[in-house]
Structure 1
């Protein structure tokens, strides 16, 4: 009996690590401006930010392209941190939920490094063919600062000068 319990606990630990990896892949891709790679994480998922919802890889990729500015280096010039992840794996072992905090920092010429947004990610996952994948992500901002260089279309400087 003890071996069976240890095996279940070991598998849950491994599953939590794999889910944590998905959380990290998302922020690394986003900060690197890899919108295509990020959208692939949501191929079988719903992605919600405030009143906007995207379903599947193509819609999520378009959401990133339209909703996140990339700057001269091809990135959003952001640094997303994910913390306090509470992962709950269902007893069946094939689905999970997670709530985590996020903090976004940004820096640009003339815009010193600063936190621009904090909030929570509410995620659901499923294990399909032995691999974990997102089934939903709900991004719920909590505290917002200067978002003018991150959200929406980049400012066309020739029109503002």
Structure 2
């Protein structure tokens, strides 16, 4: 694996680690130069660009428990990379599944889907440019999301 491939793969995994740790500031920082798209080619209200907007989106949507976490584990698999080192750009696709267990909810998969990500190298450092999240299967999200609860 090339240095670029390792750096980009680590960004993908770092997102899961930060969100599961309840570090919404850290998640926002990952997208300081990028954006999260809730819907592919969606309207502006489904695009969250920059550190503050991404952090705010998660703060609005995700239930954080007394231990400071959402009590989830994001499992990211099947990472496929397409890197153009000369241009400093890359694309990746991956699958995710999210498990959750709370005092009221037994351990279970609450959602699965896939990510389409783009990356750019800025000042020699790989960063998220965009992440589009696709939901493929939905379970019980009532203990994870603030909306619809």
TM-score when scaled to structure 2?
0.91
Deviation at 1:151, TM superposition (A): 1.6
Q: 1:42 maps to which residue?
A: 31
SS at match of 1:70: coil
Deviation at 1:153, TM superposition (A): 4.9
The count of aligned residue pairs is 144
> Looking at CA atoms only, which structure, 1 or 2, has the larger radius of gyration?
1
Paired position in structure 2 for 1:123:
117
1:121, 1:78 → 2: CA distance? 18
Aligned mates of 2:49, 2:146 — CA distance in 1: 19
Given that 2:73 and 2:98 are in contact with CA atoms closer than 8 Å, whether structure 1 keeps it comes out as: yes
Is 1:96 equivalent to 2:90 in the alignment? yes
Q: CA deviation at 1:91?
A: 5.5
Aligned-pair RMSD on alpha carbons?
1.5
8 Å Cα contact 1:87-1:96 kept in structure 2: yes
- List gaps (5 residues or longer) in structure 1: 1-11, 156-161
In the alignment, what sits opposite 2:102?
Answer: 108
Q: Which of 35, 51, 55 lines up with 1:57 in the alignment?
A: 51
Contact conserved, 2:82 with 2:92, CA < 8 A, in 1? yes
Q: 2-side partners of 1:118 and 1:95: how far apart?
A: 27
| Aligned partner of residue 106 in structure 2, secondary structure | strand
Which structure has the highest helix share of the two?
1
